Structure 1
Amino acid sequence: MSSTKNQKNDSSQMKKILSPEAESHEGGGSASEHNNSPSSPSGESKGAGNERNRPLCQPPTRSVSREPEQSPAVFIGKNIAVGMEEFRRAPKCSMELDSLEFGPKHTVLIDIKAFKTYQELKPVSGLDIWNTDYVKMPYSEKNIMIESGVFTDSKKPRWEKIKKSLSKLNRIATSKAIEEAIKSYNMKYKDEWHFDALHMFFSRVDDRNKREYFSIIERMANLAVNLPLICPKSIPLLKAEEDRIITLSHEQIACLLANAFFCTFPHRNSKRSEFSNYPDINFNRMFADGSEQKRQKLMTILHYFEMVLAKMPKGLVTFERRHLKDKICWKSSKLEVTDLHVSDEGTIEEDGAGMLQVDFACAMVGGGVLGSGLVQEEIRFLINPELIVSRLFTEKLQDCDCLRVTGTQQFSKYKGYSNSFKWMGPHHLPENTKRDKWMRLYTEIVLIDAIKFKERQQQFHMDFINRELHKAYCGFCENNIPEDYCTAIATGNWGCGAFNGDPRLKALIQIMAASQAKRQLAYFTFGDQQLAKDIRYMHNFLAKQKILVGTLYNLLHDYCVSEKSHNTAVREKSHNTSELYQFIYKCVYQPHST
């Protein structure tokens, strides 16, 4: 219960603590001058406990719509800035790795002895395993196809048919020849699969470039049929709720992707197969439904093969599935908010170089990369095509699962998003690019999937918030690695596009998860200036008031309870996503009135 006198005293105390005079004394200049200065690291914040003699920021003053008479006063928050150049990045902050070893939970597809002795990337020998724990390889003796004859049907090794059909592309490579080759060993789908996107792609290429593309196709076919030599060891599946690691060479990934392009993987084309809980890997959907977006996708994929076939990268890539076994008691967390940088400019892959980069994943990793999808995850899989091979062995992510991928290379530049996406040419690694002890590039990407909401208001329920907190924490946390050796996290509006996530809520969730993991956070809003300001002000406010993660969790709980108590139909029409932040501001300064 509140009184006018108490409200007046609270307001006076707040203004005394966070007065404009204090702002001028501590930082000099207005918040707007600081935020708009070209030389200032705009939106870069440091958590409590660090130097605080920085200009203050002023959060937005919009009122909570259902209680306009109790709208909070003008809140002044301190901009506790830290430049992005101060964020921890690899390789500068990386720990020394142990020797690369094969183990019960780590399958290495190269010869470790040759690697340690000669730094040679030779494939390790192995047996063909045809069961539900491993990828069913195209060259397996158990991969049989049935051919109809005049008097009887006969069973023949499918791999022999694949080799024979792909070898014909050395003599005649046209889009029609590619279609016929693929259908020759996928007869079950000859009437279902369509190749109009592939035909459209080649129809729009001039004769000189067409010859170059067909030359790439021929070399891809040669690479694909060498699969038994390049990947002789069976590849385990990364199953749900398990911790497991797979390490491959760039060449092995290229060979597997060439086979995916030519649709050679068995038991991966039906939703009723034992792999129904895995993403599709064969490229048949990429070839269907011609559109400009498919043309741009094919251009990006073929450019990748052009580059690796001209000069195969010498290094390794690791795919690690992680499962969070012990959940966090968020309401009891005593950690303060972490360092934060917010910007409406820049990209995760470029400005977040050397950081743990977040991929806004689908539970089926890669989403619609082989179909019509072209948003954040699909674009990342296209410019770093080695990510696509994760679809071969990664089962659908569960609520407390994530996938970490270390060492993939970016091969393409791009511009645009969704329908405006365009391939913009090759991306070349600098000559002095470093690799770690396992010969992996210092590119670490974490795939975490958000919940897809039919209605935005659904996410303001603690069961969903708990799920997203644990999902983000699973992706962000490290085991037995000191804080100073944990790189910053580069992220953005996770699950806020087609998945209907509220960007301000998702920002708080990621701030909390990063704080619990004791990692700095770089947040990119992809051109949304107002969102960048709102997140920046909120973080500065939380840091200045020394709000703990547990306290913030309880504030989210209170907000969800208050949302539930109002008529949903009315709230849907008037809901403003900024209300969450205004609720938090008011609860901190006027706890008795909430």
Structure 2
Amino acid sequence: MLKKKFKKKYKNIFNNNEQDQIVSYIRRTEFRQYDQIYNDQQYLLGYFSKDKGRYEDYKNSVLVNFADKNVGGLSFDPVNIAQEEVLILTHPEAVISMLFMQTMDENEAILIQNIMMDTDRHLDEKMKIIVNQFSKIQKLQKSYLSNISQLISLCYKNWQMQFDQVYINRELTKSYVAFSLELNYTNNENISTGKWGCGIFNGDVQLKILILLPAFLMAQQDWQQKHEQNKMLDFKNKTERILIFSSFHNNQFDDLIYSYEKCLNEKRLKILQNNNLRD
């Protein structure tokens, strides 16, 4: 009976779709400069959401991983390890990428598709290793395929540097590259992120939010226009793609995301009312 349940659950995870079982690595290089991407055009107000937990626990989403220029970051560094490397280590198939993937340039991002999370252990919010005492059935219930996108996070030893327009433009450009890659090579998954680059990289949380939002909206608008022109999607019936911020149970960060979400919703409502439109 247990064997029968195990087989049924395994079959449901992989859907017998061979394409969904292939681990793939996709690199995107953007040759346009900041002012060519953000060319003063107006972009639509989009949706974003928040989640109190860890972003790797949010199913059916693409996980954004700000890390070292080396794909996999500093996963095998004997001294330092951050949440960025933890994400790679909890997805063993992603670690393999370090064997053959070249380092990323400033204008590049890499998407790792169809990798399985290790359910034998996890790390809590204090970076403590927790061994999970799961049965085989429980492991399968908690198993699902993930997509992880990698982009370079710059360490701001001088905290004020990140507010310089040159560095803001850099962050906007690289975030756009990653979001464009995710939107073009995944179907219906939402984009899940957190306060990446704000720990050992010394990034400012509010600034990161204000960079990620317009970068995602610009990438989403370009993605929609591309498919509308090619008539590849019926946008009347399309699934809305949204950006999800995970707070890792940090109440201060959760409140900050809520305030931006509330502000954006109020602005959207005002625009709709002024133009006699419905959301």
Common topology (TM > 0.5): yes
- Whether the 8 Å CA contact 1:402–1:448 is kept in 2: the answer is yes
Q: Which of 23, 28, 37 is equivalent to 1:317?
A: 23
Write out per-residue CA displacement over residues 552-577 of structure 1, whole angstroms, 9 at most, x where no aligned residue.
xxxxxxxxxxxxxxxxxxxxxxxxxx
- Corresponding residue number in structure 1 for 2:46: 338
- Whether the 8 Å CA contact 1:338–1:520 is kept in 2: the answer is yes
- Corresponding residue number in structure 1 for 2:96: 389
Paired letter, 1:358: V
- Corresponding residue number in structure 2 for 1:490: 192
Q: Which of 187, 208, 215 is equivalent to 1:506?
A: 208
Q: Distance in 2 between matches of 1:536 and 1:331?
A: 29
- Corresponding residue number in structure 1 for 2:167: 464
Go from structure 1 to structure 2 and tell me whether the alpha carbon gap of 1:480 and 1:349 turns closer, same or farther (over 3 Å shift): closer
Q: Distance in 2 between matches of 1:503 and 1:480?
A: 24
Cα distance, 1:318 vs structure 2: 0.4
Go from structure 1 to structure 2 and tell me whether the alpha carbon gap of 1:333 and 1:544 turns closer, same or farther (over 3 Å shift): farther
- Corresponding residue number in structure 1 for 2:7: none
- Whether the 8 Å CA contact 2:82–2:200 is kept in 1: the answer is no
Give SS of 2:210's match: helix
Q: Distance in 2 between matches of 1:367 and 1:465?
A: 22
- Whether the 8 Å CA contact 1:402–1:447 is kept in 2: the answer is yes
Q: Which of 532, 544, 547 is equivalent to 2:266?
A: 544
Write out per-residue CA displacement over residues 402-452 of structure 1, whole angstroms, 9 at most, x where no aligned residue.
11000111123313356x421423682339x7xxxxxxx742110112211
Give SS of 2:214's match: helix
Go from structure 1 to structure 2 and tell me whether the alpha carbon gap of 1:450 and 1:481 turns closer, same or farther (over 3 Å shift): closer
Q: Which of 394, 413, 416 is equivalent to 2:124?
A: 416
Go from structure 1 to structure 2 and tell me whether the alpha carbon gap of 1:479 and 1:489 turns closer, same or farther (over 3 Å shift): closer
**Unmatched tracts of structure 2, length 5 or more:** 1-11, 221-240, 270-279
Go from structure 1 to structure 2 and tell me whether the alpha carbon gap of 1:325 and 1:421 turns closer, same or farther (over 3 Å shift): same
- Are 2:68 and 1:365 aligned? no
- Whether the 8 Å CA contact 2:117–2:145 is kept in 1: the answer is no
Paired letter, 1:463: V
Give SS of 1:358's match: strand
Cα distance, 1:315 vs structure 2: 3.5
Paired letter, 2:139: H
Q: Which of 74, 84, 87 is equivalent to 1:380?
A: 87
Q: Distance in 1 between matches of 2:73 and 2:158?
A: 21
- Corresponding residue number in structure 1 for 2:57: 350
Q: Distance in 2 between matches of 1:445 and 1:369?
A: 15
Superposed, 1:423-442 pairs within 5 Å as: 423-425=130-132, 428-430=139-141, 442=145
Name the Cα RMSD after superposition. 3.0
Q: Distance in 1 between matches of 2:72 and 2:181?
A: 24
Q: Distance in 2 between matches of 1:370 and 1:497?
A: 19
- Whether the 8 Å CA contact 2:117–2:146 is kept in 1: the answer is no
Give SS of 1:522's match: strand
Aligned residues: 226
**Unmatched tracts of structure 1, length 5 or more:** 1-90, 92-115, 120-246, 248-313, 434-440, 548-594
- Corresponding residue number in structure 2 for 1:450: 153
Q: With a CA cutoff of 8 Å and minimum separation of 6, indicate the structure with the bigger relative contact order.
A: 2
- Which is greater in Rg? 1
Cα distance, 1:322 vs structure 2: 1.2
Q: Distance in 2 between matches of 1:473 and 1:394?
A: 21
Paired letter, 1:377: E
Q: Distance in 2 between matches of 1:369 and 1:486?
A: 30
- Are 2:32 and 1:326 aligned? yes
- Whether the 8 Å CA contact 2:28–2:181 is kept in 1: the answer is no
Q: Distance in 2 between matches of 1:385 and 1:480?
A: 24
- Whether the 8 Å CA contact 1:336–1:546 is kept in 2: the answer is no
- Corresponding residue number in structure 2 for 1:298: none
Cα distance, 1:395 vs structure 2: 1.7
Superposed, 1:83-482 pairs within 5 Å as: 315-327=21-33, 328-330=36-38, 332-343=40-51, 345-351=52-58, 353-372=59-78, 373-412=80-119, 413-417=121-125, 420-425=127-132, 428-430=139-141, 442-478=145-181
Go from structure 1 to structure 2 and tell me whether the alpha carbon gap of 1:315 and 1:545 turns closer, same or farther (over 3 Å shift): closer
Cα distance, 1:546 vs structure 2: 4.6
Q: Distance in 2 between matches of 1:454 and 1:476?
A: 26
Give SS of 2:141's match: coil
> Could you tell me the TM-score, scaled by structure 2's length?
0.71
Q: Looking at secondary structure, tell me which structure has more strand per residue.
A: 2
Q: Distance in 2 between matches of 1:527 and 1:502?
A: 18
- Are 2:232 and 1:525 aligned? no
- Whether the 8 Å CA contact 1:360–1:376 is kept in 2: the answer is no
Q: Distance in 1 between matches of 2:203 and 2:188?
A: 27
Cα distance, 1:346 vs structure 2: 0.9
Give SS of 1:429's match: helix
